[in-house]
Structure 1
Amino acid sequence: MGDFDKKYGFDASAHPRAPNSAPSGRGGINDQRPRDWLAAIIDGSDDAIVSKDVKGIIQSWNYAATRLFGYSAEEVVGKSITIIIPEDRLEEEPAILAQIQSGNRVEHFETKRRRKDGSLVDISLTISPIRNAEGVVIGASKIARDITERRLAQEQQQLLMVEMRHRIKNLFALAGAIVSISARSSAPEEVVAQIQARLSSLSKAHELTMSALRDEPESEERVDLLSLIRIILEPYADDGRIDVQGDNPQIGGASITHVALMLHELATNAAKHGSLSIADGRLSIHVRDTAEDVHIDWQEVGGPGPSPDASADFGGRLEKGVTGMLAATLERDWKAAGLAVSIVLPKAKLGN
């Protein structure tokens, strides 16, 4: 048995020699045996290629398998393939072996396997039966491809779709709120003008928040925080019922879009469920700039009582956003007068 036979667990006597295996006499590539070429192909593959017998014992293990799973061939050959199968997926192996022993091929089976360090990896498996000269199934060859990046891309796309669905739903709700607010004017011409102006302002605010969802280079632009707050709240401003005061620090880079997204979420909630949803509601925002942080105090007054379902959904989304991207802290308090939100933004995350 040659080096290839020893390394990859095959008995060459069980397989007929290919016609081109005879020496050519010219020192060319035909001087090499087909199994030597096969060994080079297997070891040079970017995909993990593993063979096992009908009992699930590993017989061969290429270099790509070492890169993918962390085990060397010496560590795993002769051991059960279950060494790389997570406990909650052990039932997959008997089902795979049953298919192989029946002579069936398993194609593009997506699953998870466990690396030597205990971490899990998403893979796509293609498994084919190995037969001896008599056609009897004696094992299986597995080709495993790492699909982690593809899975992450799919998950990110799904998250983006969920976010877009949420935002489109909000835009329709906000358009309705703008119509309701504008309808308080008696003259139809005023109603039309106010709706157009507010929808234009909403478009500007939406463009700011949408840039956080696009794959764009980080901007060097810097904006005044109070100006940003006023842009976001402009669609809801009516009869001076929104008051924005305090310090006016500048923020820059990606933090502009993340802060805009946070403010948009607050404004959306206020227009749908809070003080901006009724004629007499008021909103005050105060900004305080300290050495290390920027504090934003958001106080709604005169709105309806809190809706547990709405406030839970709103609070979860808002808290996830500010704590994730901005490393901020957030406190919510449904006071008798209305919702109070206190946000502390580290300056290190604001492009300062």
Structure 2
Amino acid sequence: MPPASLHSLSDPHFSADTAAWLAAIVEDSTDAILSKTLDGTITSWNAGAERLFGYSREQAIGRPISLIVPEDRLHEEADIVARLRLSDRIGRFETVRRTRQGISVHVEVTISPLRSADGTIIGASTIARDIGDRLRHANEQALLLGEMRHRVKNLLSIVQGLISIGSRRADDVQTFTEQLTARITSLAAAQALVLHSEDGSEGACATLGEILAAVMAPYESDGIALADCDAAVGQHAMTSLALLFHELATNAVKYGALSNPEGSLRVEITADREAVSILWRETGGQRSESPQIGFGTTLLQATLRGLQGTIDREWRDGIFATRLMLPCDALAR
């Protein structure tokens, strides 16, 4: 609805029917449309203005335009009046106005001069459109893109580290490829849980038990018993925790309980307000007489440092036990 239509209502060449038609268009507009004198007194106020600013027509007409202008924006009105007196049409601009409830609303405003029959400028017409949703969506999109860049950068850094160190440790290309693929699959499982926890679904919350189950799914067998745990795991800790469980599982497959068809693995979890204790118990594996510090061990140590956790290992009576202690506040990050 162009501002000129408000001007047209006072044009003597228009019939009463035309004036009524134009007035109906203004009244039914979803935008706030109002007019004011040069001294800032409100002279008209449509239904859109009532909805946007919360004042009825009776409450607004005859009041100063400062009724809806925040104190820190009053300088805009002085500039607008000065430009109107010079016959300027003030193009579209974004600003802030105030509702009856004292709430600031972001609006897009267009202001045009109103003239009398002899061409004298007697006031101004204003069209204001609420752009709050548009700005919120733009801000949300910017935050989302920033978060995506951050996550992609972190994941690429992890993968680059896996490639760099793994290539120096692997005995052959096939072994390196298999290990790298398994670790990336483990990361994918953790990221799937991150997305699920953010989709807004009821009950969508990643827990320690869910991460353990997701990482161990490829090794599922009758000899594996996994405890559940509803301790919350934050987005930043998910990747580290997935890598940690994957390395323990990989070692169990290569040397430990899962390398023996008759072996068994049991994971027990206890938690209190301060920390989570994870007991990884393997039965039926082989004890290494000369353990070497390989990439898996290095990765475990680095992951635990990131989680501020500790690890203790013990071989006794055919049972290889690994105990992890992880602070709850580090897990929740």
Place the TM-score, normalised by the shorter chain, in its bin.
0.5 to 0.7
Of 318, 328, 332, the match for 1:342: 328
In structure 2, what is the equivalent of residue 196 of structure 1?
181
Number of residue pairs aligned between Structure 1 and Structure 2: 265
1:93 equivalent to 2:67? Answer no
CA distance in 2 between counterparts of 1:67 and 1:78 reads 18
Q: Distance in 2 between matches of 1:86 and 1:145?
A: 17
The percent of aligned pairs where both chains have the same amino acid is 33
Distance 1:42 1:146 in 2: 16
So what's the TM-score if we normalise by structure 1? 0.61
2:1 equivalent to 1:15:
no
- Identify if the C-alpha distance between structure 1 residues 201 and 92 changes in structure 2 by more than 3 Å, giving closer, same or farther: same
Superposed, 1:53-72 pairs within 5 Å as 53-72=37-56
Shift of 1:48: 0.7
Could you tell me how far 1:113 is from its partner in structure 2? 0.8
Contact 1:297 1:340 (C-alpha < 8 Å) held by counterparts: yes
How far did 1:183 drift?
3.6
Cα separation, 2, equivalents of 1:199 and 1:333 = 23
Aligned counterparts of 2:183 and 2:12: Cα–Cα separation in 1: 80
Moved more, 122-131 or 182-191: 182-191
Work out the CA distance in 2 between the residues paired with 1:298 and 1:100: 73
User: 2:22 aligned to 38, 46, 54, which one?
Assistant: 38
CA 1:233–1:184 in structure 2 vs 1: closer, same or farther (change >3 Å)?
farther
| Structure 1 residue 289 displacement after superposition | 6.4
Distance 1:137 1:289 in 2: 76
* Range that drifts further, 197-206 or 59-68: 197-206
Residues 208-258 of structure 1: CA deviation (Å, up to 9, x unaligned): 32345568xx38899984241464699xxxxxxxxxx9951469xxxxxx9
Q: What secondary structure, in the 3-state scheme, does the structure 2 residue paired with 1:138 have?
A: strand
Residue 66 of structure 1 deviates from its aligned partner by 1.0
Change (3 A) 1:287 1:146: farther
Residues 170, 232 of structure 1: alpha-carbon distance in 2 compared, 3 angstrom cutoff: farther
Cα distance, 1:37 vs structure 2? 2.3
Report the 3-state secondary structure (helix = DSSP H, G, I; strand = E; otherwise coil) of the residue aligned with 1:135: coil
What secondary structure sits across from 1:124 in the alignment?
strand
Report if the CA contact (8 A) 1:295-1:345 is conserved: no
The separation in 1 between residues aligned to 2:119 and 2:208, in whole angstroms, is 75
Give SS of 2:13's match: coil
Change (3 A) 1:36 1:123: same
Aligned-residue offset at 1:191: 2.4
The answer on 1:130 being equivalent to 2:120 is: no
**Structure 1 residues 266 and 155 mapped into 2: Cα distance closer, same or farther (>3 Å)?**
farther
**Could you tell me how far apart the structure 2 residues matched to 1:180 and 1:143 are?**
61
Pair 1:141-2:146 in alignment: no
> Alpha-carbon deviation of 1:74?
1.9
Cα contact 1:288–1:295 (8 A) shared by 2: no
Partner Cα distance (1:107, 1:233) in 2:
62
Partner-residue secondary structure (3-state), 1:33: helix
On the 8 A contact 2:90/2:111 being kept in 1, the answer is yes
Contact persistence 1:232–1:260 (CA under 8 A)? no
State the SS of the aligned residue for 1:90: helix
1:4: which partner in 2? none
Q: Give the match for residue 195 of structure 2.
A: 210
2:209 aligns to what?
Answer: 226
- Displacement of 1:186 in angstroms is 4.1
**Which residue identity does 1:196 align to in structure 2?**
T
Partner of 2:290: none
State the shift of 1:110 in Å.
1.3
Structure 1 residues 232 and 166 mapped into 2: Cα distance closer, same or farther (>3 Å)? farther
Bigger CA radius of gyration: 2
2:237 — aligned with what? 263
Distance (Å, rounded) in 2 between the aligned partners of 1:233 and 1:97: 71
Give the C-alpha shift of residue 122 in structure 1: 1.4
Structure 2: gaps (5+ residues): 1-5, 218-224, 245-266, 279-298, 311-324
Output the TM-score relative to the length of structure 2: 0.64
Question: Is the Cα–Cα contact under 8 Å of residues 275 and 326 in structure 2 kept in the other structure?
Answer: no
**Cα distance change of structure 1 residues 103 and 188 upon mapping to structure 2, 3 Å threshold:** farther
Cα distance in structure 2, aligned partners of 1:250 and 1:142: 56
CA, structure 1 residues 192+60, in 2 after alignment: closer, same or farther (shift >3 Å)?
same
After TM superposition, give the deviation of residue 84 of structure 1 in Å: 0.8
Superposed CA RMSD in Å reads: 4.5
Q: Which runs of 5+ in 1 are unaligned?
A: 1-8, 22-31, 235-244, 252-257, 271-284, 312-331, 347-352
CA contact (8 A) 1:298 1:342 kept: no
